[in-house]
């Protein structure tokens, strides 16, 4: 029944998993930095990192195109030194999804770290633990629910990403055409049956993710 949408589904899942993995590392690191460190420009950095939540995805896609396009500064560096071009590739779709969903991981991670009592971390240091051990054995176990909730939301958002992905990766069937772009193409082509299948798939995943987030929130309240 859903074999004709399988390529778009598998590509969307691959892009979402990669984007979520990158944001797990980057979002948690930056979230911890904003929660625990005070430095000049901290508030400005917070504003800049939050911009993807309020800017149209097409604007984000344009910025990425300017930076990573063939004439962009980063795009030229990648091409010259590594022979890599992100434009019209699934890796470009990962870049777009990562950029758009970054605040959904970073903001909850920061909030989760801020809820951890610094005295517990200090007590661990007094007992002889280093900073990395304190983070892994004290901070992260107390903050993981908030981080996971943000990660699930970011995964669902990456699965539904459209504007930025279309700008930088295009719509190449079986290569860069994700579920959301496939819905648009199906509607444009008048293929309502295919569009309905795609919408059902995306909706089912989103419902499952939101249910999981709500379940985590209830578990956190009981803890």
The whole-angstrom separation of Cα 151 and Cα 189 is 34
- Strands, DSSP E only, in 16-112? none
Largest Cα separation within the chain, whole Å, is: 67
Q: What is the DSSP string of 132-174?
A: HHHIIIIIHHHHHHHHHHHHHHHHHHHHT--HHHHHHH---TT
Q: Provide the b/e sequence for 159-192 (b: ≥16 CB within 10 Å).
A: bbbbbbbbbbbbbeeeebbbbbbbbebbeeeeee
pLDDT tens for 139-193 read 999 999 889 889 988 998 998 899 999 999 999 888 999 999 999 999 999 999 8
pLDDT tens for 67-89 read 998 888 999 999 888 988 999 99
Q: Is the CB of residue 164 less than 8 Å from the CB of residue 99?
A: yes
Architecture of the domain defined by 16-170: Orthogonal Bundle (1.10)
């Amino acid at each position: 029944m859903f074999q004709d949408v399988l390529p778009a589904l598998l590509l969307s899942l691959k892009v979402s998993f990669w984007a979520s993995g990158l944001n797990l590392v980057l979002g948690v690191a930056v979230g911890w930095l904003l929660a625990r460190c005070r430095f000049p420009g901290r508030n400005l950095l917070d504003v800049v990192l939050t911009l993807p939540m309020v800017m149209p995805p097409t604007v984000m896609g344009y910025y990425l195109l300017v930076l990573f396009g063939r004439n962009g500064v980063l795009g030229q560096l990648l091409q010259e030194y590594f022979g890599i071009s992100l434009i019209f590739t699934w890796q470009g779709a990962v870049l777009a999804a990562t950029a758009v969903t970054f605040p959904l991981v970073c903001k909850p991670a920061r909030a989760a770290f801020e809820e951890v009592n610094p005295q517990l971390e200090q007590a661990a240091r007094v007992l002889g633990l280093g900073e990395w051990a304190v983070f892994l054995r004290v901070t992260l176990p107390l903050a993981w629910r908030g981080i996971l909730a943000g990660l699930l939301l970011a995964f669902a958002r990456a699965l539904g990403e459209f504007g930025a992905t279309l700008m930088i990766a295009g719509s190449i069937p079986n290569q860069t055409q994700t579920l959301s772009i496939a819905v648009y193409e199906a509607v444009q082509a008048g293929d309502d049956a295919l569009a309905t299948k795609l919408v059902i798939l995306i909706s089912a995943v989103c419902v499952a993710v939101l249910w999981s987030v709500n379940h985590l929130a209830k578990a956190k309240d009981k803890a």
